[in-house]
Structure 1
Amino acid sequence: MSVTILAPSPTLTVTVEDHPQGSEIHVHAGGQGVWQARMLRRLQVPVTMCCLLTGEVGRTLRHLMEDEDVTVHALTRDGRGSAYVHDRRGGERIVVDEEDGDPIGRHDLDDLYSAMLRSSDPSSVVVLSGPAGDDTIPADFYRRLTIDLRAAGKTVVADLAGERLEAVVTGGVDILKVSHEELKADGLVSAVTDDEIITAMHRLRADGAGAVIVTRAGDPLLLADAQGVLEVTPPPFEETETRGAGDSLTAGLIAALTRSENLRDAITLGAAAGALNVTRHGLGTGDAELIESLREKVTVREVPATGAGDREPEGRVSPDGLAALAEPEASS
């Protein structure tokens, strides 16, 4: 069962690492959608990436992504593509330069929208990831796409924040993943306490999201669905690199959904993939067998409703596609 990922503007990443014989330069495709695709391929899920590739950066990115066995459905244009150069020789990640790339024009947006509808036709799950910069693509693109993909019978998963989060919620996204820092930055919580986060999750569900996942850095993540709220605790590891862990979590969750697992079981594979990724320099990487074994160490508990803020508000319930993934007999 295949997955299609919208990755509007992948990033060419150049990272300088320390090596006993001198500096070592690594060149990879990167960005949220790429990291999700990379982990999905590690978990043996076929992936199509729909994107816009710009200039010489884009030409390089195509080869890098295809080398990772990702099917690339790309529109091309001239201009400046998204790229960065980071220096990690001292142990910390130092930004040498970063470029978001050129905004996507109206005609390219129309073509990208059509390309996404075509690319996703054979897929059961579609992932909407964000662009490299805030001004690259308008938020309403995500609202319209969410509505049309769900109408086509797809399960739509989004890992977004800000106006794009609001857009996919309005469009009725099936599964929304967001971090507690993003909830606070968006003004959805004033403090990152359990009660405030859970209240915000219920509000997002009432506004249109089928299920909401909130990651909380080193604390257990939370899942709110039609059955209530789960607290999910992955095994702890010493952190090497925290970036990409949330994207690995999203990919692990989706990989389990493609196996027809229900949502409450699928979250454990996601938690295992995200936990392992913090031990690695490579973003969106990890050994599939190890991830499967770590899954057994993920603990899940039901969060009891203790007050008005914890009660499920009236509003939209999960769509048919999501309900099939989160059946009542799901383990807790």
Structure 2
Amino acid sequence: MSTATGIGSLPGTSDHDYAEAVRLVLDELGDLPHVPELPGRGVTAAMTGRGLAVVDGLAADLQPAGWRLTDTSGVDHRRARSLLAQDLDTLEELADGATGALKTQVAGPWTLAATVEKPRGDKVLSDHGARRELAQGLAEGVGAHLADLRRRVRGVDRWIVQVDEPALAAVAHAQVPTASGFGRHRRVDPPELSAHLEWVVAAITDAGGEAWVHSCAPQTPWALVAGTGVAGLSADLDVLGPADLDTFAEALEAGRTAALGVVPSTDPATEPSDAPITERVQRWLDMLGLDPEVVAGHLVVTPTCGLAGASPAWARRAVRLTATVARNL
């Protein structure tokens, strides 16, 4: 049977909203719930701030231009860590007795390198040593983060860590702007792109987890990602090119997970029903010559991206629609 899950983010601005988000994913995505993220609460709850809260051995602070590495943690970095711990307390309470699988998310090494500045300015991406240190700190931290989750939710026996890499395509194709905004950072060579991801994937695996990589961006180098040892690939079906489709098909045939974003992540003009979405996935499988009965256990249905930009009503509907499509498949 196919499974449904969410990408991670949901709408909401308060602690009460966070508790409701946890209840929503536990109730509607019972086979594969995820740790919710509510970036609407501010920068300390958004992807980069939450990623830095996981990184081990590096300090950061929030500057007017964004997050920057520093000698000691600033108040916003401490708040990001405190908020993460508070959210996990809520998860621990509401997920008491949960069994099966659970997914969490963390910003990937290249997305952090493209969004965090060095102590003296400009992106970490601009410095080979700095981006290496950040990736290794993330690898160390994600292992500890997963150990913390295991301690909190003891009944779960399958842990998935989704490594979010929305900036990977921009890094690979020299599209990340410099501090001045007039230039672009050099492209990073494929061996280094792969190595940094491999460190994080290996840390997740060594901690007893299952690593997926997710990106909603077009031109993500999925063949490179697939070669890093990841157990799952997750993308919006609309942005996958012909070569990417082959990579996803090969992953399914090899018994790895392919998570396809097919449910709108923002309020649509006309609300879709489950039937045409189900048929679209079936056509995709047929086009690639894949037997639905053979690959169903490795096929995951998701929204096209995070739901932070959706209205609360559509977010709830999208989660339920995703679960319905998975059941149909």
Report the TM range for the smaller structure's normalisation: 0.3 to 0.5
RCO higher in structure (CA 8 A, sep ≥6) = 2
TM-score (ref. length: structure 2): 0.38
**Structure 1 or 2: more helix by fraction:** 2
**Structure 1 or 2: more strand by fraction:** 1
TM-score (ref. length: structure 1): 0.38
